[in-house]
Amino acid sequence: MTRKPLLGNRHFSRALNRSAVLNTIKTHGPIGRAEVARRTGLSAATVTGITAELIADDLVFEKAAGDSRGGRPPILLALNPRGGFVVGLKLTETEAIAALTDLQATVIAKRTDRLAGRSPERAVNTLANAVAELVGEARIRKGKLIGVGVGVAGIVDSEHGLVRQSPYFGWQNLPLRDLLQSRVRVPVFIDNDVNTLTLAEKWFGAGQSVDNFLTVTVGRGVGLGIVVNGQFYRGATGGAGEFGHTVMDPNGPVCDCGKHGCLESFVGDPGLVRMAAEAAARGELPGPVADVQSLLALAQAGSPAAQAIFARAGEMLGRGVANLINIFNPQLVLISGEGVRSGDWLFGPMREAIARHVMPGLAGDAEIRTDSWGDDAWARGAASLVLRGLFESPVHQEPVGSSETA
């Protein structure tokens, strides 16, 4: 079936105008209707009609009158954060991290549940139960939950709701969106977990006013979220951003993906623990090191071997980030994920390596910023998948479903 031009569709035009008004109120509110019209370029009558709908939908409310330059003072409009709620879910190897947020991505409640198994059925059951428990505990009224977002590691086709390839579960082309949607009975959106984190930065964090930025995550693996000219870049099939699997040393250690010397094998948590085990075998560390936190404690206690492991990882990470800067020329590079807890032991050497390897003409263009970290950030990022659908212009949203639906 031939798809009709979207811009010729009256409903699409209405949705376009509605998103423009709602996003203007979100970004600039409290704001008067006349100012909304000026900023959006819409007529006063159109703005009045759309804001009446948004007020009726409980997404926007009227605040006390603003200052007047003569005549009747304007009534100001503001986003109603409690006009709707979203659940964000981060699926890890062993657990589901869930957060209930309002329309400003503020976390209201959160929980973490262990996975009962690695099969799709058990994973979906854990995710669905987490949604039900959060909504029930917070006493969210029926109809106020506007959607559920899910972030998962691997190659994700967000348009069709498929996990194309999961490095941790071994899933191939799993219709995770539809499986979960049949349980929770609200719209479900899925994406790569690093993309969800990047989306939260774009809509509610450091990337709000930045058109070109990258989010690099460090932890169990190494990931990358890409925003170019204000839009997400996912690649042809959703696989863009596998930064952790760029090969740094073809003679290096075996990575989980089967290749040798991937960045992740030097910087990810398993790589750090492996290097610690090798150092312990050489007698450089006092016995086996169970996890990265234990290795960090040794570095903080003054162990040269532990400090050298973080320095080596930071050097490798810095080379990789320098390559990204040389390729993308971003305004901002955000370093995020559980790995930020390693602090300057990792990121001092990283910054030094970036300075050495970035092209001289690009060295001053990119700000490198390390985020503070909380475990609920993943789930808050997943919640942003739903909020994006609420605020973003339909022009910038990927089509979902069939051409008839579109």
Give the pLDDT confidence of 227-277 residue by residue, as tens digits. Answer: 999 888 988 877 888 899 999 999 999 988 888 999 999 999 999 999 999
Whether 28 and 148 map to the same domain: the answer is no
Burial of 16: CB neighbours in 10 Å, binned 0-12, 13-18, 19+: middle
CA distances from 251 to 260, 265, 376 (A): 6, 12, 37
Residue 301 covered by a domain: yes
Tell me, what's the pLDDT at 5? 46
- Predicted confidence (pLDDT) at residue 402 exceeds the cutoff of 50: no
Q: CATH code at 66? A: 1.10.10.10
- Predicted confidence (pLDDT) at residue 401 exceeds the cutoff of 80: no
C-beta separation of 382 from 196 below 8 A: yes
Q: What is the per-residue pLDDT across 120-147, written as a single tens digit (0 to 9) for each?
A: 999 999 999 999 999 999 999 878 999 9
Residue 403 covered by a domain: no
pTM above 0.95, yes or no: no
Given its phi and psi angles, is residue 305 left (phi above 0), alpha (psi -120 to 50 degrees) or beta? alpha
**Domain range holding 30?**
6-79
Whether 236 and 341 map to the same domain: the answer is yes
Domain count, the chain: 3
Residue with tokens 């979960």: 180
Whether 284 and 229 map to the same domain: the answer is yes
Residue 193 covered by a domain: yes
Residue 240 covered by a domain: yes
Residue 48 covered by a domain: yes
Q: What is the dihedral of CA 59, 64, 68, 70, to 10 degrees?
A: 110
Q: CATH code at 331? A: 3.30.420.40
Q: Looking at 20, 51, 79, which one is the last position of a domain?
A: 79
Residue with tokens 């807890």: 341
Residue 293 covered by a domain: yes
Tell me, what's the pLDDT at 68? 56
Q: Looking at 49, 79, 109, which one is the last position of a domain?
A: 79
Q: What is the per-residue pLDDT across 148-168, written as a single tens digit (0 to 9) for each?
A: 999 998 889 988 999 998 888
- Predicted confidence (pLDDT) at residue 169 exceeds the cutoff of 60: yes
Whether 267 and 365 map to the same domain: the answer is yes
- Predicted confidence (pLDDT) at residue 280 exceeds the cutoff of 60: yes
For residue 202, what pLDDT band results from cuts at 50, 70 and 90?
A: confident
Residue 1 covered by a domain: no
Residue 402 covered by a domain: no
- Predicted confidence (pLDDT) at residue 398 exceeds the cutoff of 60: no
For residue 116, what pLDDT band results from cuts at 50, 70 and 90?
A: confident
